[in-house]
Chains A and B, each alone.
Chain A
Amino acid sequence: MGVRKVALAGVIAGAYIAVTLLFAPLSYGMVQIRISEALTLLPFLFPEAIPGLFAGCLLANFAGGFGLPDVIFGSAATLAAAVLTARMPTVFLAALPPVLINMVVVGGYLSVLLEVPLLLSMLYVGAGESVACFLLGIPLVLMLQRRMKKGGKFPAR
């Protein structure tokens, strides 16, 4: 992995953590929406975001949440979703892997951890993740894409 890739992935990881820390989840009734989850669509635009999101998620999970199950399974789910998102042909399909994988994996271990019905915890995770990815992630990617087209790439890049 080249220096530039490592640097970009590292700063993306930092941005993921900063956004996670700065914006507490928006609660909307039962559904919790994490703003930082919208960033899981970034691998669609930049492959460097794959390791970046994994490293960011790993560190963010160390700092808060349920501890080890989150660190191991949550980060692995983020990595798997990021790899798939990067390979999706359209931005709308790119939002599917993070929603589906987190729903199954995070919903799955929350169900075991909290001993609540699997369907309930999958619904809980899936709803929040869908809102973050579809309503915030897709517009984010589209706007970044438009900006990249306009200026070739980002002005600073």
Chain B
Amino acid sequence: MKFLNHLTFGQYIPAESPVHTLDPRAKILSVLVLLTGIFLVRHPLAFIPWGLLLAGLTALSRLPFSMVLRSAKPVLILVIFTSLIHIFFTDGRPLIDLRIVVVTREGVTMAVYMGLRLLFLVLFASFLTLTTKPMELSDGLERLFSPLVPLGFPAHELAMMMTIALRFIPTLLDETDRILKAQLARGASFDRGGIWKRLKAFLPVLIPLFVIVFARAEDLATAMESRNYRGGEGRTRMNPLRWTGADTAALGGILLFVALLFLADRRFLS
């Protein structure tokens, strides 16, 4: 059993870059536009400018390229799996005929296209968490959700929950780690045996974790009450979000790029 001592939530990498200083709302909206743009790509060749944009953004964010690529690691197996499905199960002109399995030209094109699309989706989405502090992200989401407040959407409460969650992740990771070690010391095994045995081993970890969750929540609620916390109304911030010209320019630039690529894809490639 591996203990993930250096695990941090999200993958935020601090750096002094124009991307890091953008308003989180601008970044959330830009990623939204970028991911929509990737969905609209029809031809594998159209991914070349997307690759260039990725390289450009990485340089602009002053992030190590390997760090950006690493964010695709969790979905790599799924990418390979779907690519294989497309290689073997797409009809078309045969490229390799092994009697039982036929690899077609269309299948290979489709596999490359799907693989690239998935990779770019994950890589571009990772920019948001790589360049935005989790707290800024939750502030940004609160502001973006705020138009829904008159409809009864608890935007402030949701953001407060996220802030609390972010604050408690390291604490709870430590506590879970402690429980795991305590169980291992008692002879528990989490990676051996059949599925039922392995799942059952997690129960003595989850139960004490929830006892801790309730204790922490109780302490926290008392601390918040004694500091006179009464919800979102009239609350001021230490670092208020400010939308600047740079944010408008960044969002506008991304919109323009996606629109131009979309037109080029439809006009010259599809």
Contacts and interface: CB of A to CB of B under 8 A. Distances in A.
Interface of A: 1, 3-4, 6-19, 21-23, 26, 28, 33, 35, 38-39, 51-52, 54-56, 58-59, 62-69, 113-116, 131, 135-136, 139-140, 143-144, 147, 154-157
Contacts of B180: 22
Contacts of A28: 195
A37 B162 CA distance: 18
Given A51-B157, A67-B124, A136 B165 contact: no
Complex A-B, nearest 6 residue pairs according to Cβ-Cβ distance, in ascending order? A10-B164, A67-B125, A14-B168, A156-B215, A13-B165, A7-B221
Interface string B66-100: 00000100110010001001100000000000000
A18 B173 contact: yes
Interface stretch (B42-50, B202-210, B238-246, B251-259): B202-210
Contacts of A63: 9-11, 129
A66 to B, nearest CB: 6
Contacts, number: 196
B19 interface: no
Interface string B153-173: 010011011111111110111
A56 to B, nearest CB: 6
Q: Interface majority SS on A: helix, strand, loop or mixed?
A: helix
Interface residues of B, number: 73
B63 interface: no
Contacts of B108: none
Nearest to A1: B157
Contacts of B209: 15, 19
9 contacts: A6-B221, A11-B168, A14-B166, A18-B172, A54-B158, A55-B165, A59-B166, A67-B35, A115-B114
A23 B202 contact: yes
B60 interface: no
B16 interface: no
A106 to B, nearest CB: 13
Contacts of A139: 200, 203
A6 B157 contact: yes
Nearest to B218: A156
A26 B201 CA distance: 12
Given A13-B165, A67-B124, A147-B207, A7 B224 contact: yes
Given A14-B165, A22-B176, A62 B10 contact: yes
B184 interface: no
B82 A68 contact: no
